[in-house]
Chains A and B, each alone.
Chain A
Amino acid sequence: MSELTRLSAAEIARRVQARELSSVEVTRAHLDRIEAVDGSLNAFLHVDRDGALAAAAAVDDEIAAGTVRGPLAGVPVAVKDNMATADMPTTCASRILEGWRPPYDATVVTRLREGGLVPLGKTNLDEFAMGGSNENSAFGAVRNPWDASRVSGGSSGGSAAATAAGEAPLALGSDTGGSIRQPGAFTGLVGVKPTYGTVSRYGLVAFSSSLDQIGTFGRSVLDAAMLHEVIGGHDPADQTSIDAPLPPVVEAALAGARGDLAGVRVGVVSELSGEGNQPGVLTAFTDAVRVLSDLGAEVVEVSCPSFTYSVPAYYLIAPSEASSNLARFDAMRYGLRVGDDGTRSTDEVMSLTRETGFGPEVKRRIMIGTHALSAGSYDALYGKAQKARTLIVRDFAAAFEDCDVLVSPTVPTTAFPIGDRVDDPVAMYLADLCTIPANLAGNAGISVPCGLSADDGLPVGLQVMAPALADDRAYRVAAAYELARDTSSGTPFAATIPDPVVLENA
């Protein structure tokens, strides 16, 4: 593995902009890394070698001419394959969109390009972002760089694995119920779900519109924050986008790295931090909370009783919205068409195409959502789920009266073996317990690695949640924790991520 693929994004940016390193060199190093390891990881669905090298060369030329587009100019980045790219296919890991090329770029992709970042390719995911293991991809599961027999998490499993394995220094993901934070925890990365409405969803293929939020992966808090500032901010193309300045997340990451949390009140959410967690996870989490306390934070226990409704509410709201959002995949205007033999009707061709083109999890959720919204069930299911959402919002509001941030394990378990839960959707759903509340309430959440589980040696995530539009608080706490963690172990955690090539050969 080249040293270049272990550099932080901040360091790559510094060197490229100082002309100590060219963007083409660093881009080529990552493309080579992809070529070397992705055959086993399956993190990428599409790699645009020529496009990436051309974009990198253009950035180098600009820098040579004295223009630096932005703080991350010249840094390669991976993009989850549910964000529209005009120069690459956008498939959502579904047969129904295989090969589809959007005639437009998502706003976040436009901002990457405008910021001088270099998109390497499109990463694998659970089909339409529905899942927590990446096993629901029509193009195969993603393997976890820490243990190739384990899932990388999901739904942004490709972006997580790519970033962990040094295929990209940074990646974009989307988080509807934990789809950035959970794979971040499973692969030992920082994963950020920003406040709902602060990163444009225009061009993100919708799963659940009221919950979906694009966010970032990095191997450090600062890297994730720098990418966050590139993609964030108001966008008139998304009318749920908040017209307010983005919270100063890079500044907060730098402030946190001064290692002082005096005056910060940290609430441990009792409903998320108890018996339901694997012992190794709970131990790592408890140790992390102790570190926060050592850094000067005041740690208190808070109760959010309505969080017990979050999984049921989520698994009603998300499928309901999905059943509507995915109705457009109908074989008429784009994508797959199956069974058009000249005699069948549109209805028949739509039904055959959707039956063939969607995987089982997508079909399950479409049917659950169709049921929850139907006239006879709406009040008891979808309507009640929206009321649950109100209770969860209220619990957060009460907790944030008392605390600056809330913490919990990101996931109750570490990465589980591939194939373990595919036939048990309910067990799969319960794994999202800790991450879902922030989606339902629309506030910010970060997962930062907090060591390895004593049970299996796999990474554990510490989730730090902040109120809406106070993402900077979570960054400050996460950055302070990150520094203390690396100081105490003597090695940056990012440097301990194993090389998947070595694993493969073991």
Chain B
Amino acid sequence: MTITFTLNGQPVEVDTAADRRVVDLLREDLGLTGAKEGCGSGDCGACTILVDGESRLSCLMLAAQLEGRTITTIEGVASENLHTIQAAFVEHGAVQCGFCTPGMVLAAMDLLHRNPHPTSHEIRQALSGNLCRCTGYQKIVDAVHAAARSCDLREGK
């Protein structure tokens, strides 16, 4: 099956089995190993990608569903410089082993698009689908706060 979609801003055409898991398509066929598989059952969020701007779990998506969609993986987040959220993660110590990090960054992007000024509780709820075993979440929450403030500053608030 031929599937056409937009991936990290570029049009892409792949020839693949319709039932290939998107996480496998990304990692094995397209060499984009940023999305990780931590459980394969939708419980950990390590495979998070953005589909038409919304966070979804690529381990529970099939290739056929990509048709016509706009997909963002972690590899498409930074441009010449780190995205504000990525920079905040680095600065605030939100990265330890790093395996949950791509999913966390994308979940945070989804949050800040919907809610540019989240409270700590709202941040934690928004990230509740992304498990982290290293950080205890606190510095990730701090980083998202900082990123939200950064966006404010850039917008002159």
Q: Do A and B come from one complex?
A: no
